[in-house]
Amino acid sequence: MADTAQAQELVYLVTGGCGFLGEHVVRMLLQREPRLHELRVFDLHLGPWLEELQTGTQNVIDACVQTGTQFLVYTSSMEVVGPNIKGHPFYRGNEDTPYEAVHKHPYPRSKALAEQLVLEANGRKVRGGRPLVTCALRPTGIYGEGHQIMRDIYYQGQRLGGRLFRAIPASVEHGRVYVGNVAWMHVLVARELQQRGALMGGQAYFCYDRSPYKSYEDFNMEILGPCGLRLVGTRPLLPYWLLMFLAVLNALLQWLLRPLLLYAPLLNPYTLAMANTTFTVSTDKAQRHFGYEPLFSWEDSRTRTIGWVRAMDGSAP
């Protein structure tokens, strides 16, 4: 997301503005940015491959330089850090916590390289001679209205008679963050970057709120439980080796079917490693640098998401 200020009025370009987070950022700008003069939304459905995303990010940076756009906020991901495929836990870490990032899947590799491009571009001269000011936001696992994976899990549970079967140990914790708070952080960063560029420029920030730390499945049940689903089992129903076998089989099928159709299973070796590795964040860097506080409480975030799930099949609120 890039912005430029002219006579106290702001023009925003939101790239990926038709996606899950992008739509929430657009709504947040319309609701919370009183100096908004013009909002431009751009979305191009690129493939997931590394070269395409890296080239696209470089094109955005070059466009900022050529047009004199001074501020660039990049939506990164916690996955530029981890969890790594070795299963090393990241427990209550922050932006400075040492952690071995091991990227073999195209998505985290591409996000990590794109983030590096954006942060290294900080200070580059744009048209008119001013310095480009950049920063990156790293959401943990985003949830909320419109979340496709939660939608898929909900429908899967319905097909299984209102049941979901535990696959991940309850002791594995994950950080989650409500999409409205991620959108709010984007708006706040873009606003404060103009005044605090010397402090914020070239920095990366985790996106966080007060959502509870739980396993991925137990957290989902905070939302899906009130919608009629129940989680079966206190321990994983299937052993890890069997889940890995199924994950590898899914990956093989995806590769074989790629020329004919898009097969995107929820379970693959990368998602299995992610789900089985603790990754939780405890940081106040965003609060210290630009005054971030979550706009939505955990209770409000949960209520909004439950309402969205219930509305998907016309269930009573």
Rounded Cα gap, residues 201 and 283, in angstroms = 18
Rounded Cα gap, residues 195 and 93, in angstroms = 28
Neighbours of 36 (CB within 10 A): 16
Nearest one of 128, 121, 119, 138 to 4, comparing CA atoms: 128
Q: Which amino acid is at 269?
A: P
Determine whether 107 is an active site residue.
Answer: yes
Rounded Cα gap, residues 105 and 203, in angstroms = 24
Which helix H or strand E contains 75, and what residues bound it? Answer: strand 71-75
124 close to 72: Cβ distance less than 8 angstroms: no
User: What sign does the CA torsion over 110, 113, 119, 122 have?
Assistant: negative
Given the residues 74, 91, 99, 107, select the one marked as catalytic: 107
Active site residues: 107
